[in-house]
Amino acid sequence: MKRDIPKRMAERGLDALVIEGPDGTHGANPAFAYFTRNQHLVGTVIVKRDEEPLLLYRSMERDAAEATGLRLINLDRWPLHEILKEHPDRLEARVELYKRIFRDLKVRGRVAFYGTGPIGAFYAFLQKLAREIPEVEVVGEFDRDVIAVARETKDPEEVERMRRVGQETCAVIEATIEFLRAHRVEGNTLVKADGRPLTVGDVKRFVRLELAKRGLECSEFIFAIGRDAGVPHSTGRPDDPVELGKTIVFDLFPKDASGYHHDVTRTFCLGYAPPDVERAYRDVREAFEAVRERLRVGEITQTYQHFVCRFFEERGHPTVLSDPKTTRGYVHSLGHGLGLEVHEEPTFPTFGRCETRLQEGMVFTVEPGLYDPEAGYGIRIEDTVYCDEDGEFQSLTPLPKELVVPVR
């Protein structure tokens, strides 16, 4: 949470944070959006240890700057056009701008930089900045940086936003299932009123309309059928017909105007499910429930990934733990954190050192799955889970988990 940032800065010996880059809206710069309430503006946030964050903004975005609730300084205080007269080279001008900002705001010591933008340009800028401002040590954090760690736990306002997004997301999925059921069947295929097969592309167009009606945005999502469902991140081929008896993996991860996401996956078959799919679905459902029952505050996240791998291996399925190159069985991680990004802290890694422990305020997914593209199926069940202030883990995904969807 934001309130933890001063403590995290002290632990890492950081004197200031500088967050900049492109606009924080549309997920382009989540670290910037975290401080600016997803307002549409470009600027720089400076956080000095034990001081309230400060936003440097431009006049044309003064209303959006005001809406952030941050302390404000107009960048006109350091007119860039005047600096460019003295330093025509744009890199030199930018470094000179920061020299003046840091001098006036008394930014010194170990300063960590965040944001998004062209890697090469920022590398050149930070290198030159480090050379020319000796009183500042430029710090770059590679893994689990201060802001990422703060964002991995949510305050009640953030959770309530995510709960509302979850309700609307589940409503979209329920509407989509009713849309499918409204079509008649010819042979083994759903068909439209004109007699042509209903396709994955038709379904996706319906989903996008439903998302828009509910004020949600999702540039891409997964609606994959049959063999494509067996490749976890296949989004689905638009021309594929929607057929009975094939697994459909429907993975939807939209956000609302606040920038906060929900993430849910359901797998279902229309009309009936083949016996091998029923068996695999039962194993996935049991793995999901077993993990949910075992979630405990203080437990290392990697523990649950290893638990699911062993669970599936005992039932005869290959996993990434026993065979990291497998394309069958359980081929991914158990879950991920969720918030201003679809994938953020915490993680549930298979390999490498992991010291991340479950704690109050975390919002993350639980999403075991089994895949066999050659057999023509894939199965994943995913809920978004929140750990409340009492250490209880509750689902933010109010949606049934049934394999077979009856058709008319």
> Over the stretch 51-108, which tens digit does the pLDDT of each residue have?
999 999 999 999 999 999 999 999 999 999 999 999 999 999 999 999 999 999 999 9
Quick one: 219 and 125 in the same domain?
no
Instruction: State residue 23's pLDDT score.
Output: 77
Weakest-pLDDT range from 117-121, 309-313, 351-355: 117-121
Average pLDDT value for residue range 257-271: 97
Task: Tell me which H or E stretch contains 121.
Answer: helix 119-132
Region of 63 please: left (phi>0), alpha (psi -120 to 50) or beta.
alpha
d(CA 202, CA 240): 10
Q: Which residue is associated with the tokens 């720089």?
A: 44
Segment 222-242 mean pLDDT: 97
pLDDT bin (cut points 50, 70, 90) of residue 24 is confident
Please check whether residues 107 and 28 belong to one and the same domain.
yes
Torsion of CA 98, 102, 107, 109, to 10 degrees: 60
Element (H, E) at 115: strand 109-115
| 78-86: long-range pairs with CB below 8 Å, 24+ | 78/104
| Torsion 242-246-250-251 (CA) sign | negative
pTM: 0.94
Please state, rounded to an integer, the average pLDDT across all residues of the chain.
96
| Total of domains in the chain | 2
Assign 235 a pLDDT band (cuts: 50, 70, 90).
very high
Burial class, 334, CB count within 10 angstroms (exposed 0-12 / middle 13-18 / buried 19+)? buried
What's 75's domain CATH number? 3.40.350.10
pLDDT at 375 over 80: yes
Spatial distance between the Cα atoms of 81 and 88, rounded to a whole number of angstroms? 10
Specify the pLDDT at position 22.
78
Question: How confident is the model at residue 141, as a pLDDT?
Answer: 93
Nearest C-alpha neighbor of 221 from the set 241, 197, 201:
201
Q: What is the arithmetic mean of pLDDT over 297-311?
A: 98
For the segment 298-302, the average pLDDT, to the nearest whole number, is: 98
Instruction: Report the alpha-carbon distance of residue 40 to residue 36 in Å, rounded.
Output: 9
Q: In the prediction, which pLDDT does 387 show?
A: 98
pLDDT of 278 above 90:
yes
- Chain CA centroid to CA 100, Å: 36
Q: What is the pLDDT of residue 256?
A: 95
Mean pLDDT calculated for residue range 284-289? 98
pLDDT at 164 over 90: yes
Query: 21 pLDDT exceeds 80?
Result: no
Give the C-alpha separation, 334 to 309, whole Å. 9
Based on the fold, state whether residues 56 and 196 are members of the same structural domain: no
Q: What per-residue confidence (pLDDT) applies to 153?
A: 98
Write the CATH number for 379: 3.90.230.10
226 with 106, same domain: the answer is no
Return all residues near 229 (Cβ < 8 A) that are at least 6 apart.
Answer: 246, 247, 248, 249, 267, 371, 377, 378, 379
111 and 196 inside one domain: no
The answer to whether the CB of 17 falls within 8 A of the CB of 9 is yes
User: Is 113 a residue whose pLDDT tops 90?
Assistant: yes
pLDDT at position 396:
98
> Do 130 and 193 have their domain in common?
no
**pLDDT tens digits for range 169-181:** 999 999 999 999 9
Region 213-241 average pLDDT: 97
Which of 97, 117, 150 is the last residue in one of the domains? 150
Segments forming the whole domain that contains residue 75 = 2-150
Residue 105 CB neighbour total at 10 angstroms: 15
